[in-house]
Amino acid sequence: MFALVAALLFVLALIFEIANVAVGSVVTVATLGTAGLLCVALHLMGVGANWTPMKK
């Protein structure tokens, strides 16, 4: 799950970098990249490894 979130954050960072966009002073390419690296680190640690979607 964290790997998917990291991939989405990296895609958003890439789009922001290409479009030269920043949402305020908080959400920038650097913060998205850092959040993506945090999610990759959590994924590699095994956090959320037993997560499965809810079955109906």
Structural domain includes residue 55: no
The pLDDT value recorded for residue 47 is 86
Count: domains in the chain: 1
Instruction: For residue 55, name the pLDDT band (cuts at 50, 70, 90).
Output: confident
Could you tell me if residue 1 is inside a domain? no
Question: What pTM value is reported for the model?
Answer: 0.79
Residue 53 maps to a domain:
no
Residue 24 in any domain: the answer is yes
Give the residue numbers spanning the domain of 14: 7-45
Nearest to 27 by CA among 12, 38, 41, 42: 12
Q: Which residue matches tokens 């966009």?
A: 21
Name which residue leads in pLDDT, 16 or 21: 16
| CA dihedral of 36, 41, 44, 50, whole degrees rounded to 10 | -70
Model confidence at 33, pLDDT cuts 50, 70, 90, reads: very high
Q: Please, are residues 32 and 9 in contact by the beta-carbon 8 Å criterion?
A: yes
**Structure-block tokens of residue 24:** 């305020």
Q: For residue 35, tell me if it sits in a domain.
A: yes
